[in-house]
Amino acid sequence: MSKKIILLVEDNQDDEELTVLAFQQGNVANEVVVVRDGAEAIEYLFGTGRYEGRDVSDLPQITLLDLKLPKISGLEVLRRIREDKRTRRLPVIVLTSSREEQDVIESYNLGANSYVRKPVDFVQFAEAIRQLQLYWLVLNEGPPV
C-alpha cells in the first residue's frame, strides 16, 4: 500500500513549518500536503479550482484542520467535508490554538474525529504531533476506501 498523504490546512507559515518539522522528527514517511486557507482545502478535497483534475478518490489518510482560516473557516470546511459522500468518513483532526468551549462543541457537532489544541511550547507541540501520528497513522484503522 502506498503511503497516503497528510493534509494540513494551515494559514500561518510559522505553524506550518513547525508542524512539518514535528512530523519530520516523528520520522513520518507520509507526504504532508499543505493548503493555506479553507477555500484551498475544499478545492483540494473536491478536485476543483487550483486542483482541477486531481483524483479525489485518493483521500488523505488524515486531515489536520485549523479553525481560524482566511476565506472559509475551518468549521465550514468541516461541514462541507461531512456533507459530501466522498469525504464524509475522512478522519479530520482539528488542530488549533483555540480552546474556546464553543469551538470544541461545534467541531464535534460537525463530526470532527478529534480536537487537539496546539501547545505553545514546541517540545509539547512536537510530542502532540508524535502521538497524533502514532495513533492516527499506525494504531487507528481508517475507513475502508
Partner 1 sequence: LRDYAESIVKTVRHPLVILNADLQIEVANPQFYRTFQVEPAATEGCRFYDLWNGQWSLPALQLLLEEIIPSDGFVEDFLVENDFAGIGVRIFLLNARRVERAEDHSFIIVLAIEDVTDRRHAAEAIQQLNEDLEIRVQERTAQLAASAKELEAFCYSVSHDLRTPLRAISGFSQELLRKYTPILDDTGVHYLKRVCSASQRMAQLIDDLLQLSRIGRADMRRVTLNLTAMAHEVGDALLQRDPQRTVTFKIEEGLTGQGDPNLLQLVLENLFENAWKFTGKKPEAIIEFGEADRDGCPAYFVRDNGAGFDMEYVGKLFGAFQRLHSDRDFPGTGIGLANVQRIIHRHRGTVWAEGVVGEGATFHFTLGSEEKE
Q: Which residues bind partner 1 (CB under 8 A)?
A: 12, 14-15, 18, 21, 97-100, 118-123, 125
Nearer to partner 1, 54 or 68 (CB): 68
Nearer to partner 1, 98 or 114 (CB): 98
CB of 27 to partner 1, least distance (A): 15
CB of 120 to partner 1, least distance (A): 4
CB of 69 to partner 1, least distance (A): 13
Nearer to partner 1, 71 or 89 (CB): 71
**Grid cell digits, residue 127:** 510530542
Spatial separation of the C-alpha atoms in residues 114 and 1, rounded to whole Å: 25
Spatial separation of the C-alpha atoms in residues 50 and 124, rounded to whole Å: 35
Nearer to partner 1, 15 or 84 (CB): 15
Residue 33 phi, psi (nearest 5): -100, 130
Spatial separation of the C-alpha atoms in residues 65 and 86, rounded to whole Å: 18
**Grid cell digits, residue 28:** 513520518
Query: How many residues does this entry show for the chain?
Result: 145
Long-range CB pairs of 111-115 (<8 Å, 24+ gap) are 111/78, 111/81, 111/82, 112/65, 112/78
Nearer to partner 1, 11 or 51 (CB): 11
CB of 95 to partner 1, least distance (A): 12
CB of 75 to partner 1, least distance (A): 15
